[in-house]
Amino acid sequence: MQLPGRHKSAIDAPVESLEGWDGSIAYLDRDGVLNVGREDYVKSVDEVVMLPGAGHAVAALREAGFRIVIVTNQSPVNRGVFSHGDLELMNQAVLDGLLEENADAHVDVVLYSPYAPWEQSPVRKPGAGMLQVGRQLLSELELEVKHHSAQLGYRHHEGRSFMAGDRDADMGAAYQHGVRGFRVNPSIGLVGILERALNDDDEGDALEI
């Protein structure tokens, strides 16, 4: 199985533990959720435009006990549109933008899938691979990495976890991983579904088949 990329870290680098955490994770798409998306992809730092309220929304999720994992499909990397280094700069711009709006908008892990659709990678949404890797990292479980593959075949109680995204692929990943899925209006972003996500009785949006 191919592995996702991880922002500024080895894929199996440990994540800071959080005392009293109940296991709830907010899995967030990037473009259309935290920053403005583009039909021709966000391709440079100059094209990173933050969605108003995204930083405050991330901070509110953390205050409510969620840990934050960004999971983003970035097939332009393997298609030669931009490099891993270019993507690192863009991801950092998003993280900086969140913190500029709210100093408590800390993101725990940023994972990305560089694979194109025809590569049929399980770590490209709607596959659940990135979510599974994020869960293992935050659960202080050893992520077994051998020969560029990862052992992901396990289940873990997800608490109030959810996936927020603006595309069918995001909802598919939520379904495959067994968590709530919230479809985001890309012109509004995360702030538009924040109240729903914080409502434990909201089961999310149904997967359209």
Do residues 71 and 134 touch, judged by C-beta distance below 8 A?
yes
Q: What is the spatial distance between Cα 148 and Cα 91, in angstroms, rounded to a whole number?
A: 23
**One-letter identity of residue 59:** A
Concerning whether 200 is annotated as a catalytic residue, the answer is: no
Residue tagged active-site, from 12, 22, 31, 46? 31
Buried b (16+ CB within 10 A) or exposed e, 2-14: bbbbbbeeeeeee
Place of tokens 């991983």: 177
What is the C-alpha separation between 131 and 152, in angstroms, rounded? Answer: 10
- In sequence order, the β-bridge partners of residue 28 are 70, 164
Active-site residue (options: 29, 108, 166, 170): 29
Nearest to 98 by CA among 190, 4, 208: 190
- Catalytic residue flag (residue 205): no
Residues classed as catalytic: 29, 31
